[in-house]
Amino acid sequence: LEPIIQFELSKEYLDKLNEAIANSDVAFIRETMDGVNPNDITAVLEEFNPDDSKYVIDQLEREVGAEIISSLEEDTRKVFLKKFSNKEVAQFLEYLDSDDAADILNELPLQAKRDTFNHIKNEEKAEHILELLRYDEDSAGGLMAKEFIKANVNWKVKHCIEEIRRQAENVEKVYSVYVVDDRNHLLGTISLKKLLLADDDKKIEAIYNDDVISVITFVEATEVAAIIQKYDLDALPVVNVHGKLVGRITVDDIIDVITESADQERQMMAGIAEDVEEDDSLWVLTRARLPWLIIGMIGGIFGARIIGIFEGDILRLAQIAFFIPLIGATGGNVGIQSSSIIVQSLANKSVFEESTFNRLMKVLGVAIINGVVLGVIVFGISYMVMDSQDFYLAGIVAISLFLVVILASFTGTITPLILDKFDINPAIASGPFITTANDLLGLGIYFSMVHFMYPF
Amino acid sequence: LEPIIQFELSKEYLDKLNEAIANSDVAFIRETMDGVNPNDITAVLEEFNPDDSKYVIDQLEREVGAEIISSLEEDTRKVFLKKFSNKEVAQFLEYLDSDDAADILNELPLQAKRDTFNHIKNEEKAEHILELLRYDEDSAGGLMAKEFIKANVNWKVKHCIEEIRRQAENVEKVYSVYVVDDRNHLLGTISLKKLLLADDDKKIEAIYNDDVISVITFVEATEVAAIIQKYDLDALPVVNVHGKLVGRITVDDIIDVITESADQERQMMAGIAEDVEEDDSLWVLTRARLPWLIIGMIGGIFGARIIGIFEGDILRLAQIAFFIPLIGATGGNVGIQSSSIIVQSLANKSVFEESTFNRLMKVLGVAIINGVVLGVIVFGISYMVMDSQDFYLAGIVAISLFLVVILASFTGTITPLILDKFDINPAIASGPFITTANDLLGLGIYFSMVHFMYPF
């Protein structure tokens, strides 16, 4: 009993397939892959080298090949498409929706992009792709496809169904039919369900739903995702600044937007500089990780300089060095907590934004409670548990910790807000940069406190 | 020109609405909210206290009220529903899809849950909800709704369309019609598009698509999300262990699963113990943050104990204390990077898993490169920039840093893999716990190296 009914992808099959490729056993490849969902074949090909993958794809129908290529990961696809001529790539693109075709074209080097485009024979498709290439990738225009079904508000249901019959050939998922006027202004929608249940002679005008949510081409991808999520939509029509219907965004593209932005946030929080995966090469992985490690290291060197200023104090009382990790770690932890709460807030923007002042007052409240609790605990522990019961040092550690909590809360709150103002992804603030800054801030506070307050 | 065509939600409107509530101006409330999307009204009500919100909802149709309640955030809804009698809540539930109704019931206290359920009058709805309450919230059964359209494989198109007319009343979004045999086994799907374009006398048997992807009720929510994403589905039929069709999961529920798991991961990485938002109360925010801060603090105290062992060394050479932040921060950063790469890998499980041994070998490779680069840089800087050009100390710092990078890479890789084996969310490994552990590990390595290798 299989929990999921899908293509059986086993190590054994992979071995046999490998053998078939080596022996040019075309019959085996075609037979075993016949009727298999292209997305499952993609999973197989991700395991092969580009040459073998090309060999397999060449044995399949162009349409199946197109779907496979479209569902490959971008990195794999980039390498893979180099194995095909521009003409062959163009043949694949003809089978894809205009938005997927435009995305793939955008991944190609400039010259290959032009040549490939010129090889697209279907003029309507070429025109659609050309239009989509104009839009920013991260805007509604960049997300939309030109494949959708529209009906004139003056048609009758019968005519509309005939038109759908004609148009539907190119549209895999219909969702709704968009209703426009003679000048292509978006007026509303009508569902297939309603068309199916309506009298043939009814006019569309009488039965369509004029309460339609749409976006203009320049709306940002994340905002589009928020709208689709808020209204539980499966597709969203896109209009130009004149209100004319120009495209449609489907929910599957929005899932990709959401997943990608979550991945990006994870990377920023973890201090990884580019989009990498575990199976990338050593070199790519190192390149993604080293920059942030070096920044952290430079922070560490600055830390050494700060502590260096107080070398004399340490030589008199080595115990002050004991609390360096405590101060640093607390500042880092508090900062990440604060910024991640703000990042979440910014991602799910409420209609009525709190003022920055109110936000900070609240942060201050939480920080005071946390700071007092941590300060009291650390005073108790460091006074009682440490070998020498140094009342002064315990007090200074506690007060420093309190101040670090307050300050790290502020920097953790302010930084993502500022980044967001400048249209920079605020998640950077939850990454190692702020942690490092809070580390240094903490060291400065702590050692200054010791230096000026401890009765050496 | 509005970039998004939606309900105009202004501070002024909110003030007027407040006034209308105070003056019991029912006409104003009904007029201004007539035809507005319930999701927009939700945004307004999130700003009000529960009593005022109840007053507004009481003025609207029950169906609109039901949609508003369904789209409220869980926290708000919990407080809000206390203002209504169990009977009133049941009236709302009658208008909702069975899955949403079951979710809301699950949020109620046990007694209220029973009473509310008993007040549901629609017997079919009650039966559906009762069935859904049996399933684990995070499984396919917990995600599915009982509202979908099915057709017998032996029907003709004409009969099928009549049946759709009958069933469709309760099904907001149709997507596909599911084709079953006489004993309700899922056989395939047929799209509305196909039905719309087919001859009335054709048998469903001749035109349905038997290549259907489905899941069994017990499949985990995250796996369901992965399947929907992989195959770009808008709905996924759910079968029981006998292959009988029992429900349908729609893509909007999957978007919620994806968003929630991203939110959860962010919280784990940031060391926040429960699901909080910026606008939660001081107390809730503190309760969510304090536990991890205390754990970090205990780590800091342990750090103090470790450094304490080497008090004598510090008194002889205070400079060894300078590099404490550097060692700690690098260990923390490397650990988070490593674990977040594994967490991402685990989230997008490839069909062919790498063996743990191969994974670790690769991690070791990256760690050696990073460790050598960081070691060399830190040796150069600390030797040249530090006031006393201490060749030995610079060397020991560099070697310690190298070792810390290697070890933190290992702990960062192994920990999420182990957590995942025990079905614990591996994202915990990217949170403060591992960072603290790596901090301590680093301190231990560094001070031992100094103690045994430095020629005091």
Average pLDDT for runs of 10 along chain A of length 456: 50 84 90 85 82 90 92 87 94 94 94 94 94 94 94 93 80 87 95 83 92 94 92 94 95 92 90 84 89 92 92 92 93 92 82 75 92 92 73 92 95 92 88 88 95 90
| Beta carbons of A237 and A186 less than 8 angstroms apart | yes
Q: What is the mean pLDDT of residues B125-151?
A: 94
Contact state of A314 with B314 under an 8 Å Cβ cutoff: yes
Picking from B184, B180, B185, the residue whose alpha carbon sits closest to that of residue B205 is B180
Q: State the first-to-last Cα distance of chain B, in angstroms, to the nearest integer.
A: 75
Q: Which residue has 């009335």 as its token pair?
A: B200
Mean pLDDT of chain B: 89
**Which among A228, A297, A381 has CB closest to B374?**
A297
A203 has which bridge partners?
Answer: A156
Interface test with A, best of B1, B5, B210 (most A CBs within 10 A): B5
Burial of A52 (0-12, 13-18, 19+ CB in 10 A): middle
Nearest to A74 by CA among A296, A214, A344, A276: A276
The partner residue sitting opposite B432, judged by closest CB among A214, A319, A333, is A333
Nearest-10 Cα torsion for A23, A26, A30, A31: -70
Asked if B322 and A333 come within 8 Å (Cβ–Cβ), the reply is no
Measuring CA to CA, which residue among B70, B76, B81 is closest to residue B47?
A: B76
- Residue A231: count other Cβ atoms within 10 Å of its Cβ: 16
In total, the C-beta contacts within 8 angstroms joining chain A to chain B are 413
Q: Minimal Cα distance from B242: which residue of A? A: A1
DSSP characters over B27-81: HHHHHHHTT--HHHHHHHHTTS-HHHHHHHHHHS-HHHHHHHHHHS-HHHHHHHH
Strands B150-152 and A150-152: unpaired
Report the alpha-carbon distance of residue A375 to residue A373 in Å, rounded: 5
CB spacing of A330 vs B294 below 8 angstroms: no
Chain A residue closest in CA terms to B430: A270
Q: For an interface test with A, which of B199, B333, B345 has the most A Cβ atoms less than 10 Å from its Cβ? A: B333
User: With an 8 Å Cβ cutoff, are B5 and A214 in contact?
Assistant: yes
Work out the minimum CA distance from B71 to partner chain A, whole angstroms: 8
Q: Do B370 and A286 touch (CB under 8 A)?
A: yes
Contact residues, chain B, for A333 at CB < 8 Å = 271, 292-293, 296, 432
The arithmetic mean of pLDDT across residues B53-65, rounded, is 91
**pLDDT value, residue B166:** 81
Which residues of B fall within a CB distance of 8 Å from A72?
A: none
Helix (H/G/I), strand (E/B), else coil: B436: helix
Q: Are A329 and B443 in contact (CB < 8 Å)? A: no
User: For residue A350, which residues of chain B lie inside 8 Å, CB to CB?
Assistant: 43, 46, 279
CA distance A37 to chain B (A): 8
Partners of residue B211 in chain A, C-beta under 8 Å? 35, 37
Q: What distance in Å separates the CA atoms of residue B67 and residue A102, rounded to the nearest whole number?
A: 38
Contact criterion met (CB < 8 Å) for B328 and A328: yes
Question: Does the pLDDT value for residue B431 go beyond 90?
Answer: no
Kindly give, in sequence order, each residue whose CB lies less than 8 Å from that of residue B203, ignoring residues fewer than 6 positions away: B154, B155, B156, B157
DSSP B214: -
Closest residue in A to B382 (Cα) is A301
Closest Cα in chain A to B71:
A230
Chain B residues touching A382 at Cβ < 8 A: 301, 304
pLDDT surpasses 50 at B4:
no
Crossing angle for the helix pair B324-347 and B356-384, nearest 10 degrees? 150
Quick check: B262 and A267 CB within 8 A? no
- At B151 the three-state DSSP class reads strand
Task: Give how far Cα A264 sits from Cα of A107, A418, B30, B223, B431, Å.
Answer: 19, 19, 44, 21, 17
CB contact under 8 A, B282 and A362: yes
Q: Which of B285, B305, B306 to mutate to test the interface with A (most CBs of A within 10 A)?
A: B285
Nearest CA in chain B to A309: B322
The reply to whether the predicted model has a pTM over 0.95 is: no
CA distance B137 to B45: 27
Across the interface, whether the CB atoms of B5 and A213 are under 8 A apart is answered yes
Residue with the larger pLDDT of the pair B69 and B351: B69
3-state secondary structure A324-358: HHHHHHHHHHHHHHHHHHHHHHHHCCCCCCCCHHH
Quote the pLDDT of residue B8: 58
Please indicate whether, in this complex, the C-beta atoms of A164 and B196 are within 8 angstroms of each other.
yes
Interface mutation vs chain A, best among B266, B338, B443, most A CBs within 10 Å: B266
C-alpha to C-alpha distance for B453 and B456, rounded to whole angstroms: 9
Question: CA geometry: angle at B347 spanning B341 and B349, to 5°?
Answer: 100
For B86-125, what is each residue's pLDDT tens digit?
Answer: 999 999 999 999 999 999 999 999 999 999 999 999 999 9
Q: Do B269 and A43 touch (CB under 8 A)?
A: no
Q: Report which of B361, B367, B370, B391 is spatially closest to residue B379, judged by C-alpha positions.
A: B391
Residue A186's DSSP bridge partners are A180
Chain-centroid distance, C-alpha A449: 43
Choose the mutation target among B326, B342, B360 for the interface with A, i.e. most A CBs under 10 Å: B326
- b/e code B133-146 from CB counts within 10 Å (16+ = b): bebeeebbbbbbbb
Pairing between strand B215-216 and B235-239?
parallel
Asked if the Cβ–Cβ distance from B39 to A285 is below 8 Å, we say no
DSSP string, B282-294: HHHHHHHHHHHHH
**Which residues on A lie below 8 Å from B38 (Cβ)?**
none
* B278/A230 CB distance under 8 A: no
CB–CB of B430 and A343 under 8 A?
no
The per-residue pLDDT for range B211-269, each reduced to its tens digit, is 899 999 999 999 999 999 989 899 999 999 999 999 999 999 999 999 999 889 999 99
Closest CA to B135 of B237, B246, B214: B246
Strands (E), B212-347: 215-216, 235-239, 245-250
Shortest distance, CA A111 to any CA of chain B (angstroms): 31
Q: H helices within B82-148, ranges in order?
A: 86-95, 98-107, 110-118, 123-133, 140-143
Are the Cβ atoms of A294 and B325 closer than 8 angstroms? no
Q: How many CA atoms lie within 13 A of A411 on its CB side?
A: 25
Distance CA B172, CA B145 (A): 12
Which amino acid type is present at position B252? D
pLDDT at A386: 66
Nearest to A150 by CA among A187, A197, A200, A100: A187
pLDDT band at B352; cut points 50, 70, 90: low
ipTM of the complex: 0.86
Give me A201's structure tokens: 């002679």
In B, which residues are within 8 Å of A175 by CB distance?
234
For position A385, what pLDDT does the model report?
Answer: 65
* Structural contact between residues B142 and B172, judged by C-beta atoms closer than 8 angstroms: no
Cβ contact (<8 Å) for A443 and B329? no
Distance CA(B435)–CA(A336), nearest Å, equals: 12
CA distance B179 to chain A (A): 16
In this predicted model, what pLDDT tens digit does every residue of B288-345 receive, in sequence order?
999 999 999 999 999 999 999 999 999 999 999 999 999 999 999 999 999 999 988 8
Q: Is the pLDDT of residue B7 over 90?
A: no
A117 vs A92: CA distance, rounded Å: 11
Residue B370 is nearest to which of A164, A293, A324, comparing CB atoms? A293
Q: What is the pLDDT of residue A5?
A: 43
pLDDT at B408: 95
CB–CB of B313/A321 below 8 Å?
A: no
The 10s digit of each residue's pLDDT in B385-408 is 666 678 889 999 999 999 999 999
CB contact under 8 A, B300 and A323: yes
The first and second tokens of residue A268, run together, are 């920023």
Task: Retrieve residue B363's tokens.
Answer: 């991690």
Cβ contact A311–B319 (<8 Å):
yes
List beta partners, residue B188. B179
Which of A286-300, B26-40, B164-178 shows the lowest mean pLDDT across its residues? B164-178
CA of A130 vs chain B CAs: smallest distance (Å): 23
Contact criterion met (CB < 8 Å) for A329 and B436 = yes
Residue B170's pLDDT is what?
Answer: 74
Count of CB atoms situated within 10 Å of the CB of A389: 11
Best to test chain A binding among B293, B383, B451 (most A CBs inside 10 Å): B293
A197/B192 Cβ within 8 A: no
